[in-house]
Copies of this chain bind each other. A is one copy, B any other.
Amino acid sequence: MTPASGAGTGILKIGCPDARGIVAAVSGFLAGHGANIVDAQQHTDKSDDAFFMRVEFELAGMDIAQADVVPALQLVADRFGMNWGISWSDRIPVVGIMVSQLEHCLIDLLARHRMGELQVRIPIIISNHAELASIAAAFGIPFACIPVTAGEKEAAEARAIEILKKANCDLVVLARYMQILSPTFLSAYPMRIINIHHGFLPAFAGARAYNQAHERGVKLIGATSYYVTDILDDGPIIQDVIRVSHRDSVEDLVRKGRDLERLVLARAVRAHVEDRIVVHGTRTVVFE
């Protein structure tokens, strides 16, 4: 049998009804083919008897070729009714970024990318405004300005999808993109569009989140990143908060919130591109 090539790893993600012997079947399969398991995590959601697993294993030393792993694993998956997928470390995620006029999340992602923190390729930044073109240029990323005017939204979205697809993007990050995407757009990237909301969901949805928080007199503000679905501000992945006080004006909340948004979005993108997220209904399992 042709040995698997390369020094890379495979990441296997599984979701299925809980059952006896899943861990043994998966790890037995991998060990039986000579794979070294680098990391394994599992989680059982007792409220609905669902089982989740993430296994990272080395290709080097395996007695089957990389291309043969998927069909062989399918036999195991069928036994347990698994939703599953595998990704290979030799495949770099390709991320398209969409942004409007606020630059803090964009700069943060580009800086992390430049420092090697985000192991992705970023072939394109799309904006409905022209202001941030210079930021894109400073970091050497192509920039496409697609204004979204009344009555022309459908055409604008079609053009954005065309650019994203042509650039082979497999993830779209909305780094403070202030347009609501249509179901058509969403269906082009199902569970592959990450948004950052400037509020602690589900408390303050919509565009005036900081104003609402200030009016209500809360002592903490939040930021939430989530996979975009048809419902506004639904599907959280990561949430975080920062302490505020009565001294903070709405402007202070906005400034403190920016720090939070950047961190929360960066963590969400990292978790996604490192294949650590399993979506389970309206919730997510985020392995560490």
Q: A residues engaging B (CB < 8 A)?
A: 20-25, 27-28, 30-32, 34, 36-47, 61, 103-104, 107-108, 111, 114-115, 117, 134-135, 137-139, 200-203, 214-220, 222, 236-241, 245-247, 249-250, 255, 258-259, 263, 282-286, 288
Task: Judge whether B220 and A240 touch: CB under 8 Å.
Answer: yes
Bound Cα distance A217, B281 (Å): 10
Task: Judge whether A249 and B200 touch: CB under 8 Å.
Answer: no
Bound Cα distance A46, B107 (Å): 31
Q: Which of A25, A38, A46, A111 has the most CB of B within 10 A?
A: A111
Of the residues B216, B217, B246, B283, contact of A43 by C-beta under 8 Å = B246
Bound Cα distance A161, B133 (Å): 35
Task: Judge whether B241 and A45 touch: CB under 8 Å.
Answer: no
Task: Judge whether B250 and A236 touch: CB under 8 Å.
Answer: no
Task: Judge whether B39 and A28 touch: CB under 8 Å.
Answer: no
Task: Judge whether A239 and B218 touch: CB under 8 Å.
Answer: yes
Task: Judge whether A28 and B24 touch: CB under 8 Å.
Answer: yes
Measured CB to CB, the nearest residue on chain B to A279 is B217
Bound Cα distance A44, B61 (Å): 19
Copies in the complex: 4
Bound Cα distance A255, B240 (Å): 18
**Given the complex, which residues of B lie within 8 Å of A215, measured CB to CB?**
282
Task: Judge whether A201 and B218 touch: CB under 8 Å.
Answer: yes
Known A219-B239, A255-B117: A31·B37 in contact at CB below 8 Å: no
Of the residues B104, B200, B245, contact of A115 by C-beta under 8 Å = B104
Of the residues B44, B202, B238, contact of A38 by C-beta under 8 Å = B44
Q: Could you give 6 example pairs across A and B, Cβ below 8 Å? A: A24-B24, A27-B28, A40-B42, A46-B249, A201-B218, A216-B236
Of the residues B40, B103, B222, B246, contact of A285 by C-beta under 8 Å = B246
Task: Judge whether A217 and B283 touch: CB under 8 Å.
Answer: yes
Task: Judge whether A238 and B214 touch: CB under 8 Å.
Answer: no
Task: Judge whether B218 and A236 touch: CB under 8 Å.
Answer: yes
Task: Judge whether B34 and A44 touch: CB under 8 Å.
Answer: no
A189 shortest CB reach to chain B, Å: 21
Measured CB to CB, the nearest residue on chain B to A264 is B219
Known A218-B236, A236-B217: A42·B44 in contact at CB below 8 Å: no
